[in-house]
Amino acid sequence: DKTEVTNLEYLAFVEATKKQEIPGHWVNGRPLPGQEKLPVTLVSYDDAVEFAKWRSERDGVTYRLPTEIEWEYAARNGAANDLYPWGDKFQARCAVLDQPNNDPKPVGTASCPNEWGVMDLIGNVFEWTSTEVSVYPGSSLAVKPVEEPHYMIRGGGAFYKSTGDDRITATFRQEVPRSTKSPGLGFRLVRN
């Protein structure tokens, strides 16, 4: 997808599937007025996978979450040295960061798309990837036992900074449990 999945797109899924569990910030089963174009948030990894399955069936095309490697390739515009989709220098107008209330903006608001037209890869909301946390092949490290699988999230949120220790680049990554539902975490899909 060119952007994160929006509240409006997710609403179509909820209505079509009669999904009972909806994002916690919606009211009466719907996003608040004016928030339809915001990225959908407060959805777990499984919710995102379920949405991808529904959209695949609806469109007759296979959609899925991107792998972490695919996500970073797009966020670096296919260039190993770029820290951003638009190049190697930060441009404040290209990312939704430094937001005083930590609120995301409508998708595509402050984005400088990469050469494929993909937007919102830096800031706005973190995004689920399909990459489960593991150690690199040949590593002597062991993965600590966890109660549920953890997945990598990418992109950073509107609350992150454009400078300093919290600076977001295409290389920024975190891991979270698959059941995580956060107001700063959404997703986008890729097509097989």
User: In 10 A of CB 171, how many CB atoms?
Assistant: 10
Please give the residue range of the domain that contains residue 71. 1-192
Q: Report the distance separating Cα 171 and Cα 103, nearest Å.
A: 22
Which CATH number goes with the domain that contains 98? 3.90.1580.10
- Scanning 110-153, the segments in alpha helix (DSSP H) are none
DSSP code at position 64: E
Number of domains present in the structure of the chain: 1
Q: Tell me what pLDDT residue 42 has.
A: 97
Encode pLDDT of 63-91 as tens digits. Answer: 999 999 999 999 999 988 898 898 888 88
Q: Tell me what pLDDT residue 104 has.
A: 87
Strands 126-132 and 185-186: parallel
Predicted TM-score (pTM) of this structure: 0.90
Q: Which residues pair with 174 in a beta bridge?
A: 153
